[in-house]
């Protein structure tokens, strides 16, 4: 039985961070050493990012709140609010994104009634509250109170894959199941100024966004682009546990993103792909570039560069990931769904096209998946 992504939609907060403006603000913070200031400029300029979105409206140069908590425009200071203060904003603003993305996905799924939805899976690693986003979505959309709800929290950038995998399993167990999967991340809540290279890198690449998918065993409607969820695999690399982590501190969550992460991915990416490609006879024996479409989580420019080089992919195969990074930055778990959305929106072909997708996160964990893009049938 095939299981499909019947619709996939995204949402971002309205406030836009211009990369070069954010660079100048972070590079001029008091307490930075001369080396720290140079590192800020280098990280921001080399990130291959033009814009990011943030739920923290006061982070822009146009905002002038009376009692700033995150950015004092008059003094040009990036402030350092408590974890409690950051999380209170998460509860308010993440809820908006969860609901906006969910409504868009449901509204753009032909033939779907709200009463059809049987499961809701929400995903986030950038905040906590309870009743949580799964509850908020059910109430806001007017779903049945009997809908089964699940929340995947604090897994990191790869968490969309466990959510989609669980959705597929629900549909395989019950052909009438319709699963709404929503990832929403407010990474910008945890931006801070520091001389620490990991913190600087986080400030340079992370943004906010949400994505939602409707997953069902029902066949797509005529003229509808859809994805089949074919195979998933999880691999833990033998090294890298200390190189990527996400910890809770007194002044927000603290990112550990070691500079060696791209090298670890480069060294172990082919091994991580082996069990996935082995699911399709003969696929693992062919050049990676023979797979027409690639949806790679853009954890950063260096990661994309290493994946492209190691797998000998063509430049055009990297466009969905690189364009997502350029426009939105790294939005943690939501990001790979933005990449898949880019692919779904590309011009259809006359044949179904295979997609190889991957995301990386703490552990170091590599989640991989094979999808098939189905062209519309009129």
Contact between 32 and 76 (Cβ < 8 Å): no
Q: Where are the alpha helices (DSSP H) in the chain?
A: 19-27, 34-45, 83-107, 133-141, 160-173, 197-205, 261-277, 301-311, 319-328, 335-345
Output the CA angle 268-360-37, nearest 5 degrees. 105
What's the burial of 266, exposed, middle or buried (CB within 10 Å: 0-12/13-18/19+)?
Answer: middle
How far from the centroid of its chain's Cα atoms is residue 196's Cα? 24
Q: Which residues pair with 211 in a beta bridge?
A: 10, 183
How far, CA to CA in Å, does 143 sit from each of 119, 220, 269? 10, 22, 41
Give the span between the Cα atoms of 58 and 30, in whole angstroms.
19
Candidate list 157, 171, 187, 356, residue with the active-site label? 157
Contact between 219 and 127 (Cβ < 8 Å): no
Give the span between the Cα atoms of 21 and 202, in whole angstroms.
16
Residue burial 301-337, b: 16+ Cβ < 10 Å; e: rest: bbbbebbbeebebeeebbbbbbebbbbbbbbbbbbbb
| H-helix or E-strand spanning residue 296 | strand 293-296
Give the span between the Cα atoms of 148 and 136, in whole angstroms.
13
Answer yes or no: 187 catalytic: no
Contact between 1 and 170 (Cβ < 8 Å): no
Which sequence positions are flagged as catalytic? Answer: 157
């Amino acid at each position: 039985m095939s299981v499909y992504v019947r619709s996939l939609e995204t949402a971002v907060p309205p406030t836009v961070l211009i990369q070069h403006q954010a660079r100048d603000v972070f590079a001029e913070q008091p307490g930075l050493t001369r080396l720290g200031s140079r590192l800020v400029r280098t990280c921001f300029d080399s990130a291959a990012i033009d814009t990011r979105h943030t739920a923290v409206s006061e982070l822009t140069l146009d905002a002038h709140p009376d009692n700033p908590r995150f950015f004092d425009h008059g003094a040009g200071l990036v402030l350092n609010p408590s974890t409690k203060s950051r999380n209170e904003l998460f509860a308010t603003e993440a809820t908006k994104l969860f609901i906006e993305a969910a409504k868009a996905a449901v509204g753009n799924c032909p033939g779907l009634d709200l009463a059809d939805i049987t499961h809701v899976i929400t995903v986030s690693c950038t905040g906590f509250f309870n009743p949580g986003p799964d509850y908020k979505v059910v109430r806001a959309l007017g779903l049945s109170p009997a809908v089964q709800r699940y929340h995947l929290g604090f897994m990191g950038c790869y968490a969309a894959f466990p959510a989609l995998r669980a959705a597929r399993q629900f549909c395989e167990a019950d052909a009438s199941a319709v699963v709404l999967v929503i990832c929403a991340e407010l990474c910008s809540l945890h931006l801070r100024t520091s001389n620490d290279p990991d913190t600087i890198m986080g400030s340079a690449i992370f943004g906010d966004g949400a994505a939602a998918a409707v997953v069902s065993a029902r066949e797509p409607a005529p003229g509808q682009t859809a994805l089949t969820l074919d195979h998933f695999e999880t691999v833990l690399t033998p090294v890298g546990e200390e190189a990527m982590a996400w910890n809770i501190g007194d002044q927000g969550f603290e990112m550990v993103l070691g500079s060696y992460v791209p090298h670890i991915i480069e060294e172990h990416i082919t091994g991580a792909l082996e069990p996935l490609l082995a699911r399709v006879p003969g696929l693992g024996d062919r050049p990676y570039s023979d797979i027409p479409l690639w949806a790679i989580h853009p954890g950063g420019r260096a990661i994309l560069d290493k994946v492209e080089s190691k797998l000998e992919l063509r430049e055009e195969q990297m466009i969905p990931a690189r364009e997502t990074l350029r426009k939105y930055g790294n939005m943690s778990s939501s990001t790979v769904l933005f990449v898949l959305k880019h692919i779904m929106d590309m011009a259809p072909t006359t044949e179904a096209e295979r997609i190889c997708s991957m995301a990386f996160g703490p552990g170091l964990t590599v989640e991989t998946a094979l999808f098939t893009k189905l062209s519309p049938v009129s």
